[in-house]
């Protein structure tokens, strides 16, 4: 099934399983969701569990935090994660800190989900890689699922988690297809990476759209005799450093790819961890391939220049493999 169908199935299964689960956000009900992730849910579950909201991210995110504190399990949809900027106070100062500041009296089992990252000509205010805003905050878990199967398994785990989870999807992946288990108890634990491709010469760490670009590059490099192993973190916080370090210790080289602007990004954190924990295993410095440090242009040709290209990824891998 498609990525969006897998998300829809996860929501449907969890709402059937647990009456405390409900969805709220802009156009999630009557319109079936801006990207049709919530299609058909209003008809099955009714307007008390599929709640259309005003255009007020701070307001309905705050409602989600309060509902979670009182025992419900809300799934708050951001039409695009760029709009979560308007709800940062509720997410960062309330959801993330409430368990700590209440001395463990209140859990906040809240999922904030929606698409984020580079899209197709949605320009500067709708194409930001927002994960960097959240994984620095203690108390938040941050998930970026790259495949339809992961979309289902990780969303179900996020809904069942007793902590606030930031669950960022991608507009460009909603239509991709992949195998999705029908088992309603199919779960992927948060904090477990996946090795998407076995290799021996270099480890490439990538997620979301960059994962698929890396897989294409790996096939091309295979013809040159360069064997690429690809690791998809899946969960950025908590990070599965054991899988990443295990791969680097096998290949002795690493390239990290991210679509965001780069400075103080996920690639920086991963590179620092590898340098601290596996320095003696490296045969070359860790390379980082990131988006350009500029707002996302609207023009298609400039948008392609902003994001990490196949050519840049190829050059980086060839460089670290000497």
pTM (2 decimals)? 0.96
Pick the catalytic residue from 5, 13, 77, 126: 126
DSSP assignment of 113-158: EEE-S--SS--GGG---THHHHTTSTT-EEE---SHHHHHHHHHHH
Asked if 126 is an active-site residue, the reply is yes
Domain 3-173 matches domain 194-321 at the CATH topology level: yes
Pick the catalytic residue from 13, 14, 26, 57: 57
Residue 280, helix vs strand vs coil? helix
Task: Report domain extents, the chain.
Answer: 3-173, 194-321
Give helix 266-278 / helix 241-251 axis angle, nearest 10°: 60
Spatial neighbors of 80 by CB under 8 A, at least 6 apart, are 34, 114, 115, 116, 122, 126, 171
pLDDT by residue (tens digit) across 244-303? 999 999 999 999 999 998 888 999 999 999 999 999 999 999 999 999 999 999 999 998
Contact 25, 78 (CB under 8 A): yes
pLDDT by residue (tens digit) across 4-21? 999 999 999 999 999 999
CATH class label, 194-321: alpha beta
Per-residue CA distances from 43 to 39, 47, 63 (Å): 9, 8, 23
Best CATH choice for the domain 3-173 from the list 2.160.10.10, 3.40.50.970, 2.60.40.3710, 3.20.20.30:
3.40.50.970
């Amino acid at each position: 099934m498609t990525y969006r169908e897998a998300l829809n199935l996860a929501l449907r299964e969890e709402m059937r399983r647990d009456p405390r689960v409900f969805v709220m956000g802009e156009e999630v009900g009557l319109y079936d969701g801006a990207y049709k992730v919530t299609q058909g849910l209003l008809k099955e579950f009714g307007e008390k569990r599929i709640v259309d909201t005003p255009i007020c991210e701070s307001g309905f995110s705050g409602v989600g935090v309060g509902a979670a504190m009182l025992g419900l399990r809300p799934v708050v949809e951001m039409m695009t994660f760029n709009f979560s900027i308007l709800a940062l106070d509720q997410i960062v100062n309330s959801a993330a800190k409430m368990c700590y500041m209440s001395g463990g009296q209140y859990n906040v089992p809240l999922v904030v989900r929606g698409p984020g990252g580079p899209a197709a000509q949605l320009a500067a205010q709708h194409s930001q890689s927002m994960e960097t805003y959240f994984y620095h905050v203690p108390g938040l878990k941050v998930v970026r699922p790259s495949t339809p199967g992961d979309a289902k398994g990780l969303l179900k785990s996020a809904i069942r988690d007793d902590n606030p989870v930031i669950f960022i999807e991608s507009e460009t992946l909603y239509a991709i297809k992949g195998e999705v288990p029908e088992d309603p108890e199919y779960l992927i634990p948060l904090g477990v990476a996946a090795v998407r491709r076995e290799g021996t010469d270099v480890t490439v760490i990538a997620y979301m759209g960059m994962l698929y670009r890396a897989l294409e590059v790996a096939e091309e490099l295979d013809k040159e005799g360069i064997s690429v192993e690809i690791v998809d973190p899946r969960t950025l916080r908590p990070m599965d450093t054991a899988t990443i370090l295990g791969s680097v210790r096998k290949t002795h080289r690493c390239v990290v790819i991210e679509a965001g602007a780069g400075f103080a990004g996920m690639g920086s954190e991963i590179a620092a961890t590898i340098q601290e924990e596996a320095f003696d295993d490296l045969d070359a410095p860790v390379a980082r391939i990131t988006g350009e440090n500029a707002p996302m242009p609207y023009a298609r040709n400039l948008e392609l220049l902003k994001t990490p290209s196949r050519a840049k990824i190829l050059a980086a891998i060839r460089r670290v493999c000497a």
